[in-house]
Structure 1
Amino acid sequence: MDDALVVLEDRDACADLLREAAMYAKGADSELVLYSPMTTDQYEETAETLDEIGRVENRQYNDDEVLGVALTFARELASDVLADIDVEWSVVADVVEERTADHIVDIAEEHDCDHVFTLGSPRSPTGKAVFGDATQRLILNFPGYVTTKMS
């Protein structure tokens, strides 16, 4: 059985999603890959915040340390949520212009995942038809299983 990718975005909503993914992984004897994407806007905001902290601490933060914020978010969430569930997990993060279904598919395939867990947004059928929906595109384009939790 291949691994499962869990797309982490919002701490509160993702805690339940991560717990469900862990129960799946435990039952399927697979591992979890926790994906913590950071948009370019989030990256720039984090870099500015770290620059301000760096001025106080008299040091400079580099790009890896900025991305480390996304990694730390995922690791802390996993430590809290998965403490009582015996499942192996790892964390990956990157910076993207925007979160797209195609990019999530690429990350899942890169890490040999055959199941993706992600948050979805409630939207009317008309809204989906007119504006599209990243979760819907993920479901249609991913060659494996997709589990969504409405946020």
Structure 2
Amino acid sequence: MEDAFVAIDDPDHSSDLLREAAAYAVGADAELVLYFPLTPEEFEESQESLDKIGRVEHKDYADEDAQTVAKQFVDDIAREPLADFDVEYSVVTDVTEEIDAGRIIELAEERGCDHVYTTGRRRSPTGKAMFGDTTQQLILNFSGFVTVRTN
């Protein structure tokens, strides 16, 4: 069985999504790949915080360290929802203005995932037609299963 990819776009509403993906992973003997993209602003804030810490510690932190901060953030988000599950997971992050279905598909396929978990927003049909919908694009273009949990 291949792994499951969990796209976390709203940390405040990710617990149920993580629990559902973990239940699947345990039953399928799969691992989870947790994806949390940073906006350029969030990445810059992480860099600035690390720069401040670096000045105190007399250490120079690289850009990769800001992504490490993001991975630690995801570990914190996942800790409670995954506590009751014996499941292995890894964290993937990148810097992007918005979550993109194509990027999710690319990352999921690179990591051998055959199931994607994501949250969806309720939108009118007109809103979907005018602005597109990441969830809709995932459903239509991902070659595996897609589970959507609405907030």
If the length of structure 1 is used for normalisation, what is the TM-score?
0.90
Amino acid of the structure 1 residue aligned with 2:111: H
> In structure 2, how many angstroms separate the alpha carbons of the residues matched to 1:87 and 1:54?
34
Which has the higher mean CA deviation after the structures are superposed, 39-48 or 10-19? 39-48
SS of aligned partner of 1:95: coil
> In structure 1, how many angstroms separate the alpha carbons of the residues matched to 2:4 and 2:83?
18
Which has the higher mean CA deviation after the structures are superposed, 114-123 or 34-43? 34-43
> In structure 1, how many angstroms separate the alpha carbons of the residues matched to 2:80 and 2:62?
27
Which has the higher mean CA deviation after the structures are superposed, 54-63 or 4-13? 54-63
Instruction: Kindly tell me the number of residue pairs found equivalent between the two proteins.
Output: 151
Which has the higher mean CA deviation after the structures are superposed, 40-49 or 111-120? 40-49
Q: Is the 8 A contact 1:25 1:87 kept in 2?
A: yes
> In structure 1, how many angstroms separate the alpha carbons of the residues matched to 2:10 and 2:56?
29
Q: What is the deviation of 1:40? A: 2.2
Residue 118 (structure 2) pairs with residue 121 (structure 1): no
Question: More strand per residue: 1 or 2?
Answer: 1
Once the two structures are aligned, what percentage of the paired residues are identical?
56
> In structure 2, how many angstroms separate the alpha carbons of the residues matched to 1:18 and 1:27?
14
1:103-138 Cα shifts (integer Å, max 9, x gaps): 000000000001000111111111001111111111
1:19-43 Cα shifts (integer Å, max 9, x gaps): 0100111112211111122122321
Amino acid of the structure 2 residue aligned with 1:118: T
- Residues 51-130 of structure 1 aligned to structure 2 (within 5 Å): 51-130=51-130
Match of 1:147 in 2: 147
Uncovered stretches (5+) of structure 1, i.e. residues with no partner: none
Uncovered stretches (5+) of structure 2, i.e. residues with no partner: none
SS of aligned partner of 2:95: strand
Q: Is the 8 A contact 1:40 1:98 kept in 2?
A: no
If the length of structure 2 is used for normalisation, what is the TM-score?
0.90
Match of 2:30 in 1: 30
